[in-house]
Amino acid sequence: MNSAVTSTTRPTRYRTIDLVTIAMLGVAFGVVFWGWGKFYDVIDLGAAVGFKPAAALLGGMWLIAGVVGGLIVRKPGAAFATEFIAALVSMLVLGGTSWGSTVLISGVVQGLGAELIFALFLYRRFDLLTAVLGGALSGVLEAFYEWKYYFPDWDLQWRLLHLGFLATSGVVIAGFGGWLLVRSLAKAGALDSFPSGRP
């Protein structure tokens, strides 16, 4: 996959394979999200290191679906839809996670973060920069949401550190990791039906 892909036209019409791929990615990442939630609960990184904001360093895994969906399908709404479907599936798999239905709100917030970055580049750029910015903004928006609903009693220092950790995790896991995943899928021939799978 070309790491600096641009297009002179903005694709808007969805093909059946685009919709099927978004759904399949959403389901696959939803199962991953569910498993990551169980791992997150067990490891409890914030408690383990004695600093609760540090738990945000694991948050990037929940941001990856939107980045990957946007990089592969390259259509308006693809990033948002992939992230939201993944959140929905994670809520439904084997009783869901400890966050219950609130994961749907996170899915909206995180999907919006990735989608806004692809929109900023008018759906014409799908390189590493776009991926890491998408992961970062998803992390920032999720941090804002979590401040209000999960950590309203945190002081400014803890909130800013939490935001920095979550954005960094978004850059590394969702952004760079998502970009590497798409490159690997393209090299394996799994994306031959998409521009993301062509040199």
Domain residue spans of the chain? 16-197
Give tens-digit pLDDT for 142-195: 999 999 999 999 999 999 999 999 999 999 999 999 999 999 999 999 998 898
**CA distance linking residue 26 with residue 115, whole number of Å:** 15
> Could you tell me if residue 188 is left (phi over 0), alpha (psi between -120 and 50 degrees) or otherwise beta?
alpha
Instruction: Give pLDDT, residue 10.
Output: 54
**CA distance linking residue 70 with residue 129, whole number of Å:** 13
Instruction: Give pLDDT, residue 181.
Output: 98
3-state SS assignment for residue 21: helix
Query: pTM to 2 decimals?
Result: 0.90
Q: Taking the chain (199 residues) in consecutive chunks of 10 residues, what is each chunk's mean pLDDT? A: 49 90 98 93 73 92 98 98 98 89 96 98 96 98 96 95 98 98 94 82
Instruction: Give pLDDT, residue 7.
Output: 52
Instruction: Give pLDDT, residue 4.
Output: 46
In order, the DSSP letters of 39-60 are: HHHHH-HHHHHT-GGGGGGGGG
Instruction: Give pLDDT, residue 195.
Output: 87
